[in-house]
Structure 1
Amino acid sequence: MTIEKTTVFVSGATGFIASHVVEDLLKAGYKVIGSGRSQEKNEGLLKKFNNNPNLSMEIVEDIAAPNAFDKAFQRRGKEIKVVLHIASPVHFNTTDFEKDLLIPAVNGTKSILEAIKEYAADTVEKVVITSSVAALAAPADMQDVSSVVTEDSWNRDTWESCQTNAISAYCGSKKFAEKTAWDFLEANKSTVKFTLSTINPGFVFGPQLFTDSLKNGINSSSAIIAKLVSSKVDDKFYNYSGPFIDVRDVSKAHLVAFEKPECAGQRLFLCEDLFCSQEVLDILNVEFPQLRGKIAAGEPGSGSSFLTKHSCKCDNSKTKKLLGFKFFNFKDCIVDTASQLLEVQN
């Protein structure tokens, strides 16, 4: 496929991961059609990209609404060869887990695939869906030292069992949305011609593409770092742990996922290593003299023993081989994230 002529559709283009993806696509010479929730958001993004002639936007107000993507694909479907479905509901402020998390995630995935089938069945060749490590393992398994998470793992929660709290329900929503995509392809393989890949990142850290995006809030993973950056000396903190990846690697992986034929049909598990909050604090206290003695310190150096006792193991050697590029290390990722947060604070 010739890069110059390839048009890529990016859902949720104004988001944390997606804006990096849009940047990488434009740099690589692709034409990009993004979707955003409102005219105002869309115009804001176009402006940030200096009204690049290769970027245009469509409004998709609510990805969970029935036929949410129909208008966009009716208008533009014949131009689109690649679809990157990145938009997904992420919030934990709900007690109606089915209505606010599970159904929207599943419907969002279903509606974009239905729109492709209806309006672009003969033009879309590749679909990449942004899933999550949450589709690979339930929260309890992420903290089980005997558990090894790989590309073949699936979160074992059911639709019912994941509805115990917002975190489990969110994790369940990622599983069921991803399952929906694989099942859809299986059921419609005689009608559509696209191949499917999924991107399954751990906690996604790293800088926002546009610093001023932080004024509108922060993605839930980076919020962990923001909280530690603004902690006080004696603060007790929750020691989050799990696999991490830098947003810049997540973005790059989206491109490789559709450019490399070997990635078709694969789940790409993005994890550079395991992390815990204590290790974030260790880096902040060493690398930022202005924070030392003012923020929490916890028990410096105890991170690795905490992980040994409280975290699963991850094996994503298959993904690393398929992608063929080196991920950002933890220190650089945290330093870049915190530097931007401090710049905005100042």
Structure 2
Amino acid sequence: MSGKGKTVLITGGSGFVAAHVLNAFLERGYNVRTTVRSEATAENVKKSHSKYLDQLSFAIVKDVALPGGHDEAVKGVDGVIHTASPFVLSVEDNERDLLQPAVRGTTEVLKSIQKHNPNVKRVVITSSFASILDLNKGLRPGHTYTEKDWNPISYEEAAKKDAPGPVAYCASKKLAEKAAFDYVAEHNPNFNITTICPPMVYGPTAHTVSDLSKLNTSAAEIYHLMDGSQKEVPATSFYLWVDVRDVGEAHVRAYENPASAGQRYLCTAGRYTFQQICNVLRKDFPERRHLTPEGNPNEPLPDTYDVDTTKIRTELGIKFRSLEESIHDMAVEFIQIEKQLGIKH
């Protein structure tokens, strides 16, 4: 399907996942308006997506949770893809710094669309496997997660002063996604929503990287396994992953498919461990083997929860990339960036 002549708003266009969502729409011929926090960020997006400049435009939104912050950005577009989510590194107050911004960051966008653009029929929202996973159940051997599962944590539990950061973060994703579905049920707007729920996201970047010490979290994890700074194979905390290019593709297919209205999609290639990632790096880049921890190469996958991705594969036709392809492409890109920056090992 071609998006020629159609315009979508993609919020938070400078992010790791968002940059690939932009690519997926731009490649299909859509005009994309994207929100960024500053002119400087807009310049970075222009650099990384330079072959699509005639299809790209920008709206400055300094704070996604601000009431009315997206009023101008939503005017005149045919659809909205909401990827922006408040990202806070040090949280003093779970409720103030994480839960409220995440929930409001989603509902305020929906309010702006309902008020200012009755032509929008479809909104796709980037959620997370964090809104599906039950952290209290741990590795949960024998359980298969599907789109029917919801992280059971309540707002009250997550808002507690002593709730750990990861618990509050997972709760913020669940509460924001729930708030979106509740908004549609309560306000009956002209649009319907679809949510995409990826776990750990790896793969090459499509946004501008000028400093390898300022990578996004998941990219930094992989880079540190090949630059000599990580001496041991780290423990795996979430056992599911997906390639960022497949996440971008899932957004555009969900947007274009009428049957995905009101649906959520678990978007994952399956299980992995950091040991498997180290195995790929050591096999594919022998000249850097001394920089990548060896660990225990034959270590089997532990007995953990599994996932059923039948829904996204059949309804959206997504074929997931392999871990080897994803990590290989990521490493090749890191090596290119090192060359550009004159970094030697």
- The 1:182–1:234 alpha-carbon spacing in structure 2 relative to 1, beyond 3 Å, is closer
Deviation at 1:212, TM superposition (A): 2.6
Q: For 1:72, what is the secondary structure of its paired residue?
A: coil
Equivalence map 1:312-327=2 (5 Å): 312-327=305-320
**Alignment match of 1:204 (pick from 177, 201, 205):** 201
Which of residues 221, 230, 235 in structure 2 aligns to 1:238?
A: 235
Aligned residues: 335
Q: Work out whether residues 138 and 156 of structure 1, in 8 Å CA contact, stay in contact via their aligned partners in 2.
A: yes
CA distance in 1 between counterparts of 2:92 and 2:100 reads: 14
Counterpart-to-counterpart distance in 1, 2:213 and 2:105: 23
Match of 2:127 among 121, 131, 134: 131
Q: Name the amino acid aligned to 1:133.
A: F
Say which SS state the counterpart of residue 199 (structure 1) adopts.
strand
| Unaligned segments of structure 2, at least 5 residues | none
**Matched-pair contact (CA < 8 Å) for 2:275–2:295:** yes
**Paired residue for 1:44?**
44
Identity rate of aligned residues, in percent?
33
User: What does residue 283 of structure 2 align with?
Assistant: 286
Give the distance between the partners of 1:16 and 1:144, measured in 2 at CA: 30
Q: Which amino acid in 1 is paired with 2:68?
A: N
Provide the TM-score with structure 1 as the length reference: 0.91
Residue number in structure 2 paired with 1:4 = 4
Secondary structure of 1:4's aligned partner: coil
Aligned partner letter, 1:327: F
CA distance in 2, matches of 1:324, 1:205: 20
- Residue pairs, 1:176-325, within 5 angstroms: 176-189=175-188, 192-210=189-207, 212=209, 215=212, 217-231=214-228, 234-235=231-232, 237-304=234-301, 306=302, 308=303, 311-325=304-318
1:213, 1:273 → 2: CA distance? Answer: 31
Q: Deviation at 1:108? A: 0.4
Residue range with higher mean Cα deviation, 263-272 or 229-238: 229-238
- 1:81 aligns to 2:74 (yes or no): no
SS at 1:229 equivalent: coil
1:155 aligns with 2:151: yes
In structure 1, runs of 5+ residues without a counterpart are: none
Question: 1:87–1:214: structure 2 CA closer, same or farther, 3 Å change rule?
Answer: farther
**SS state at 2:21 partner:** helix
Give the counterpart letter for 1:296 in structure 2: P
RMSD, matched Cα: 2.0
The whole-number CA distance in structure 1 between the counterparts of 2:230 and 2:265 is: 39
Residue in structure 1 matched with residue 337 of structure 2 by the alignment: 344
The aligned runs of 1:165-180 (5 Å cut-off) are: 165-180=164-179
Moved more, 317-326 or 198-207: 317-326
Query: Conserved in 2, the CA contact under 8 Å of 1:131 and 1:174?
Result: yes
